[in-house]
């Protein structure tokens, strides 16, 4: 930390000079510092989307989310415990992008003809193009993993697997809403010039990533996304080209809320299930649930299965030794099931986040159905 004078209000404060942009805690001016010459320059395209939520509201929304997930809604209050709620305002570079994609590939014919298929002519060549505009948000932090869930905020409507951390601002900050929108304006439209007061109590993270890097990252994300979209049209993609035009870039601090909860089942399950902390992210503009981990994943269920079978193995082994040899066979069977479950448990854990976001999408769709 170094003490510097703000170029806008001239008062001195402590700054982390390794950040790409610095923010004056007194007048909220944003500026860059050239470390060799000491030259400072005010940066004007810095905005913030005001945080409009608080821990009490977030807690109520998380319980509402859990109620919608559960078949036995009345059990939510007695079985779920909110263990932590915290928020932060994180910097994102928002890049206005127009992306034009041209693709070509092979599509399998509906009616196979045996003779032709032999020579590989069972496919038709097809080509097409599409154009899309985004306000693409790219993290202004070097370590996108420092806050849970920030790596997978994009949940496209199309069935593609997301391998990038950026996301389209408008569709992301309007999804997952469990209550009526607080404002008819999109989050982007209601942004204000950056001022610490709009965080409404949230910690504000510093800006580390430069504009140039953000633009490169945005281009890469959109290109990857469009590649996945193009693949949906064909069985084999043979050619693909995306031209990207950047119309502008702005820095926007976006509000997020984190909630952790613990599920302590009151049913028989409690003997076999070790309570774990699960997490949710909500956006702090309209309080939509962006990502949420389910109380029990497929992995947990298989884990419970493995435990029960392991116990059964021991019981039947004892029976086999004491009572009748036939029980040894049953013990062997239980052991195999327990082994398979344990193996699946390990491999299924890796997908658990994906499962959680799929469930989230289901909630969204259910809500949409209600509105219609
Ligand atoms: Zn200042």
Q: How far is the CA of 23 from the centre of ligand 1 (A)?
A: 8
pLDDT value at residue 183:
78
Band (314; pLDDT cuts 50, 70, 90): confident
Band (372; pLDDT cuts 50, 70, 90): very low
* pLDDT tens per residue across span 218-277: 999 999 999 999 999 999 999 999 999 999 999 999 999 999 999 888 777 777 777 889
Q: How far apart are CA 190 and CA 285, in angstroms?
A: 9
Please name the residue that has the structure tokens 């905020």. 153
* pLDDT tens per residue across span 25-50: 999 999 999 999 999 999 999 999 99
pLDDT at 341 over 90: no
List the one residue out of 357, 181, 169 whose CA is nearest residue 252. 169
CA angle in degrees (0–180, nearest 5) for 186-190-194: 135
pLDDT value at residue 130:
97
List the one residue out of 162, 148, 160 whose CA is nearest residue 291. 148
pLDDT value at residue 295:
83
Q: 90: which strand partners?
A: 254
Q: How far is the CA of 333 from the centre of ligand 1 (A)?
A: 72
Q: How far is the CA of 31 from the centre of ligand 1 (A)?
A: 9
Q: Which of 51-55, 209-213, 288-292, 319-323 has the lowest mean pLDDT?
A: 319-323
Mean pLDDT for all residues in the chain: 87
pLDDT at 369 over 50: no
pLDDT at 287 over 70: yes
Question: What tokens appear for 50 in the block?
Answer: 């005001």
Q: How far is the CA of 89 from the centre of ligand 1 (A)?
A: 20
pLDDT value at residue 135:
97
Q: How far apart are CA 41 and CA 298, in angstroms?
A: 53
How much of the chain exceeds pLDDT 90, in percent?
Answer: 63
Mean of pLDDT values over 123-152: 95
Q: Which of 310-314, 330-334, 343-347 has the lowest mean pLDDT?
A: 343-347
Mean of pLDDT values over 282-290: 94
Q: Which helix (H) or strand (E) holds 219?
A: helix 211-231
pLDDT value at residue 77:
81
Q: Which helix (H) or strand (E) holds 131?
A: strand 123-139
The phi and psi torsions of 74 (rounded to 5 degrees) equal -70, -15
The set of residues, in sequence order, having a beta carbon less than 8 Å from that of 162 and lying 6+ positions away, is 152, 154, 155, 156, 225
pLDDT at 360 over 60: no
Q: How far is the CA of 6 from the centre of ligand 1 (A)?
A: 5
* pLDDT tens per residue across span 50-84: 999 999 999 999 999 998 888 777 778 888 899 99
Q: How far is the CA of 46 from the centre of ligand 1 (A)?
A: 14
The set of residues, in sequence order, having a beta carbon less than 8 Å from that of 136 and lying 6+ positions away, is 94, 95, 96, 97, 166, 167, 168, 169, 218, 221, 222
Q: Which residues surround ligand 1, an ion (CB under 5 A)?
A: 6, 8-9, 24, 26-27, 29
Q: How far is the CA of 85 from the centre of ligand 1 (A)?
A: 31
pTM for the complete prediction? Answer: 0.80
Q: How far apart are CA 185 and CA 248, in angstroms?
A: 21
Q: How far apart are CA 96 and CA 168, in angstroms?
A: 10
Distance from first CA to last CA of the chain, Å, rounded? 54
pLDDT value at residue 298:
61
pLDDT at 358 over 90: no
The set of residues, in sequence order, having a beta carbon less than 8 Å from that of 135 and lying 6+ positions away, is 94, 95, 96, 97, 168, 169, 170, 188
pLDDT value at residue 366:
47
Q: Is 30 exposed, middle or buried (0-12, 13-18, 19+ CB in 10 A)?
A: buried
Q: How far is the CA of 12 from the centre of ligand 1 (A)?
A: 8
Cβ atoms 178, 125 nearer than 8 A: no
């Amino acid at each position: 930390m170094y003490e510097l004078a703000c170029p806008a209000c001239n008062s001195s404060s402590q700054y982390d000079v390794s950040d790409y942009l610095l923010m004056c805690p007194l007048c909220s001016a944003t500026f860059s510092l050239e470390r060799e010459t000491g030259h400072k320059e005010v940066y004007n395209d810095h905005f913030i989307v005001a945080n409009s939520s608080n821990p009490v509201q977030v807690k109520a929304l998380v319980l509402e989310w859990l109620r919608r997930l559960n078949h036995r809604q009345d059990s939510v209050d007695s079985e779920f415990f909110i263990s932590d709620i915290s928020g932060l305002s994180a910097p994102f570079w928002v890049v206005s992008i127009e992306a034009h994609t041209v693709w070509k590939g092979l599509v399998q014919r509906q009616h196979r003809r045996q003779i032709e298929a032999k020579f590989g002519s069972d496919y038709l060549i097809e080509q097409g193009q599409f154009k899309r505009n985004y306000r693409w948000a790219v993290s202004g932090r070097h370590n996108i993993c420092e806050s849970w869930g920030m790596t997978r905020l994009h949940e496209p409507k199309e069935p593609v697997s997301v391998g990038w951390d950026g996301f389209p601002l408008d569709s992301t900050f309007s999804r997952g809403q469990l209550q009526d929108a607080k404002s008819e304006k999109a989050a982007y439209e209601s942004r204000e010039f950056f001022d610490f007061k709009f965080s409404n109590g949230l910690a504000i993270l510093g800006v580390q990533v430069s504009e140039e890097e953000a633009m490169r990252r945005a281009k890469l994300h959109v290109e990857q996304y469009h590649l996945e979209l193009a693949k949906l049209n064909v069985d084999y993609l043979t050619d693909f080209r995306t031209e990207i035009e950047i119309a502008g870039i702005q820095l926007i601090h976006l509000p997020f809320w984190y909630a952790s909860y613990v599920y302590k089942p009151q049913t028989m399950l409690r003997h076999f299930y070790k309570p774990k902390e699960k997490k949710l992210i909500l956006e702090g503009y309209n309080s939509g649930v962006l990502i949420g981990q389910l109380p029990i994943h497929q992995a947990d269920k298989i884990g419970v299965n493995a435990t029960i079978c392991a116990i059964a193995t021991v019981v039947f082994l004892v029976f086999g030794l004491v009572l009748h040899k036939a029980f040894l066979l049953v013990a062997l069977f239980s052991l195999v099931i327990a082994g398979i479950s344990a193996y699946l448990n390990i491999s299924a854990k890796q997908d658990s986040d994906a499962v959680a976001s799929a469930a989230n999408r289901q909630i969204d769709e259910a809500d949409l159905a209600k509105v219609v």
